[in-house]
Structure 1
């Protein structure tokens, strides 16, 4: 109530702040990370017989596990429908890795379509992202998803659940696709479209994603927003003392 400015990284949180914060003092600050020097690799044409899917996530109980459950269920359904023109790389590790692996095994998904890359360095992760075609993550109760942001910075389109601050990172129908969070049918239907009739949009959406990341989500972009508002506060304070 007494702050001169309040910044939120999540537009959904801003709605909770409005009753106790002067709207003129409430500002959206887009999620940001150090991606200024990221180079977007030139990608070969997509092989329609094997679209490369990727995700990056901690393997822990709770919401992360729920997202993995959605992924395993959706990919298992595709396999049973003989839609196997994909390969999925999972980057990450954690205390529930055995359980996560078990989710995919239970769906009959084998190493023919699946690779667990484990814990990777930043450089290794970027190499995996550079060789992929689409980042997929259901984003159950995701605050905003830094992994989604980094995927876009690497030139990848994103398929994710529409929740929390995710829409502030992923622009639906421009840098990726947002579906109702936790809706396996919707997630699966959009993934199927990405593997078939919308396959040609993956590269253009990926280019849009890289452009958006560099424009809106760098440390420099955040600095500009913060600096602009702080200068206004200082000027107003100086005027009040005059």
Structure 2
């Protein structure tokens, strides 16, 4: 069995879960064709990401003229499929703020994806995210390509389902994947009732071997780490304000923000305005070894997000035997159990966030270690990358056999 992965921009530092899934499939003996539309413009600090970039075929490398010629040639060879794909691209484009012209570009990309699937013997396409990568997979299928599936992560897809024609993508797919029960419930809102049975839950996973020997809880002053892209939805600005409220009572408390993004300047200004330069460190993007080192040095991971799917960083922190403070949103409560593996607080509540940190700091080291161990056992049971990839492969095989 060979699966074509249809991706938009790949690899990216924040998409390590895709890399894990691809490699887990390959370990299971399944062929994977990596078809990304474009390269990312972020530097790839992780050697594994650089390896993935070298193994990926980039559709836009064919150039505009090549893609148009390929699309026209395919339409001439398969006029019925071409007309169906063109009509679908126009219909989806009219529903989208990106417009019809952008979707005609997706149609040209889809023609190339369908061609590559044929020449490489890919029997199925799988996309990550219900955005333009799923659009290209859907159009490639309409253009005579193999069947497709896609994984919806959120929150982007949940913010604009109509503009993304999410319902059409779900109804036309061989099957679709949510990463949590919450995510599946959101897809139920947009799929036809007879599509519900084809909406599966496949958890994103970690590689347990990377966390085989968690470091013991560190001694010394309390230290927190937050990991993620610096963007409004991740809520890092809440951490700056919470740290300002905690400074008088816990002057030795330290927070490390791992990541980067469009909000970095705003965060740096807020940290300076609150005089928190000695309490908050920004590291930029780190490779996986660097992330594990920061988790090992911390007493807990903190994630104040306003919108999420089911964050990989929560899984990684729990695998590293660290308790988690997170917001009570999306799929997070399916993983973090208050009082057992961490704390859950309402999103957008600075005082609740500060109170949770204060409660954590008040806990003895033995209590934090026990919470970390409980979290580790829970995540290893639910989020093994190989088990998740095997589940996905079974769904693909069943769809090919007509039994899914």
TM-score range, shorter chain: 0.7 to 0.9
RMSD: 2.7
Residues 1:100 and 2:267 aligned together: yes
Which of 241, 247, 251 does residue 84 from structure 1 map onto? 251
TM-score (norm 1): 0.81
Task: Figure out how many residues of one structure are paired with residues of the other and give that number.
Answer: 231
Please, which of 376, 380, 384 is the counterpart of residue 214 of structure 1?
Answer: 380
Q: Is the CA contact (8 Å cut-off) linking 1:133 and 1:202 kept in structure 2?
A: yes
The answer to whether residue 220 in structure 2 is matched with residue 52 in structure 1 is: no
Partner of 2:359: 193
Indicate the SS of the match to 1:37.
helix
Q: Give the secondary-structure state (helix, strand or coil) at the position aligned to 1:136.
A: strand
Per-residue deviation at 1:54?
0.7
Write the mapping of 1:158-237 to structure 2, written as runs, cut at 5 A: 158-197=324-363, 200-226=366-392, 237=403
| In structure 1, C-alpha distance between the alignment counterparts of 2:277 and 2:249, rounded to whole Å | 14
For 2:267 and 2:243, locate their aligned partners in 1 and report how far apart those are by CA, in whole Å. 14
Question: SS state of the match for residue 210, structure 2?
Answer: coil
Specify the alignment match of 1:157 in structure 2. Answer: 323
CA contact (8 A) 1:30 1:168 kept: no
* Distance apart, 1:168 and its partner CA: 3.1
The separation in 2 between residues aligned to 1:4 and 1:167, in whole angstroms, is 29
Any unmatched runs of 5+ in structure 1? none
Give, in whole Å, the separation in 1 of the partners of 2:354 and 2:294.
Answer: 23
> Which residue is equivalent to 2:293?
127
Q: Look up the SS of the partner of 1:149 in the other structure.
A: helix
Return closer, same or farther for 1:106/1:40 CA change in 2, 3 Å cut-off: farther
Indicate the structure whose relative CO is greater, using CA pairs within 8 Å and at least 6 residues apart: 1
Equivalent-residue separation in structure 2 for 1:219 and 1:29 (angstroms): 10
1:37 matched residue in structure 2: 210
Give the greater-gyration-radius structure (CA): 2
Match of 1:17 in 2: 187
For structure 2, the 5+ residue unaligned runs are 1-170
Cα offsets for 1:106-162 (capped at 9, x unmatched): 222132x22222222221121111111110110111222122222222221110111
Q: Secondary structure at the match of 2:275?
A: coil
1:60-115 CA-to-partner distances (Å, cap 9, x unmatched) read: 4x323xx1111011110011x4322421112122343222122222222132x222
Indicate if the aligned counterparts of 1:59 and 1:94 stay in contact, CA closer than 8 A. Answer: yes
SS in 2 for 1:221: helix
| In 2: Cα distance, 1:199 partner to 1:4 partner | 49
Question: Following the alignment from structure 2 to structure 1, what is the Cα–Cα distance between the partners of residues 282 and 333?
Answer: 28
Provide the secondary structure at the position in 1 that maps to 2:241: helix
Residues 193, 199 of structure 1: 8 Å contact kept:
no
Q: C-alpha separation between the residues in 2 aligned to 1:172 and 1:140?
A: 18
In 2, Cα distance between equivalents of 1:5 and 1:98: 41
Distance 2:338 2:201 in 1: 19
Instruction: Give, in angstroms, the shift of residue 228 of structure 1.
Output: 5.8
Partners of 1:117 and 1:18 lie apart in 2 by: 39
More helix by share: 2
